[in-house]
Amino acid sequence: MPRGDLFSPLDPFQTGRLKVDDIHNLYWEQSGNPDGVPVLFLHGGPGAGASPTHRRFFDPTFYRIVILDQRGAGRSTPLGDLRNNDIPHLVADLEALRTHLGIDRWMVFGGSWGSTLSIAYAEAHPNRVIGLILRGIFLMRKSEIDWFLYGMKHIFPEAWAHFNAFIPAGERGDLLEAYWKRLTNPDPSVHLPAARVWSMYEGACSTLMPSPELVSASGEDNHALGLARIEAHYFRNNGLDPEDKLLRDIRTIRHIPAVIIQGRYDIVCPIRTADELHRAWPEADYIVVPDAGHSAMEPGVRTALVQATERFKTLR
């Protein structure tokens, strides 16, 4: 019978920090089987950071589980720093970590923004990727960013009304610029309230059924600041040229075994993007979870992700 839930909690067998430039010092950890098949977990956001729960998608007797907090996120320092923080730098960081850990090839697992970075990394270094497990697809196009800022009000009007009302009426014509101005203000009394509202808006829209626990956790200061400031930075300074570059270059990785897992009622990253990805990449398995939203912790999504890591045990 296929496994349906997360593996038991576990601690890392190794943690460390990787200094990637004069600014950024990245937290990384390894857990599971030191001699197992390497798998890299890429967190969402950008800026959300990883948590101990993320180790539990993988059988620790089989996988060598590598987790990294990306630039400015989670336990990496400085928190929320935007300098030298773009997709090429993040891709280079993954290669630096792979080399540092002495890994030749690894599986890559990423959801939401993690799916964006997973695809970007695989397209840059296809020979280093054994397989891809992707959830809640986000490809960094303007239409997807505009949906986050304005479109989600059609499904979550209450959450969006709070997100919109935080900004004075005269600035609401450009919510991204208005939040950006506050999130990058050096005064915590300015940037922290804005970060909490932004992060809790996303949290409120991330599950099929209301999750007060997720919304509350989204408002925690460090999480909110890393998530909101770095998301706004990437949304405002999207460096993809052309903006659909990730989708256009899928042809370069269609030979890599992959699975796309998508909640039917994902409002943060709507299913249209996952459908477009699958049409460009028909070789990838495509699993639509019929009763789920965006979060990886939605029961059906969680089950599909664990079952994917179990199926991918055949890869080497």
Cα–Cα distance for residue pair 282/265, rounded to 1 Å: 22
pLDDT tens figures, 225-274: 999 999 999 999 977 889 999 999 999 999 999 999 999 999 999 999 99
Helices (H) and strands (E) in the chain, counts: 11, 8
Question: Which of 31, 76, 112, 218 is the catalytic position?
Answer: 112
Region 66-87: what's the mean pLDDT?
97
Residue 3 has pLDDT above 70, yes or no: no
pLDDT value of position 239: 73
Question: Which of 59, 69, 93, 266 is the catalytic position?
Answer: 266
Q: What is the mean pLDDT of the chain?
A: 96
Region 75-86: what's the mean pLDDT?
97
Residue 24 has pLDDT above 60, yes or no: yes
Give yes or no for a contact between 203 and 214, defined as CB atoms under 8 angstroms apart.
Answer: yes
Residue 1 has pLDDT above 70, yes or no: no
Alpha carbon separation from 25 to 16, 39, 76 (Å, rounded)? 10, 21, 6
Q: What percent of the chain is modeled with pLDDT above 90?
A: 95
Residue type, 151: G
> Sorting pLDDT into bands at 50, 70 and 90, what band is 294?
very high
Long-range contacts of range 174-183, CB-CB < 8 Å, 24 or more positions apart? 175/149, 175/150, 176/145, 176/149, 176/232, 176/235, 176/236, 177/236, 179/228, 179/232, 180/232, 180/233, 180/236, 183/228, 183/229, 183/232
pLDDT value of position 2: 62
Note the CATH number of domain 14-140+240-314: 3.40.50.1820
Q: Where are the domain boundaries for CATH 3.40.50.1820 in the chain?
A: 14-140+240-314
Question: Which of 115, 199, 294, 295 is the catalytic position?
Answer: 294
Residue 266 falls in the annotated catalytic set: yes
Residue 181 has pLDDT above 60, yes or no: yes
With CA atoms as reference, report the closest residue to 161 among 188, 132, 200.
Answer: 200
pLDDT value of position 282: 98
pLDDT value of position 238: 75
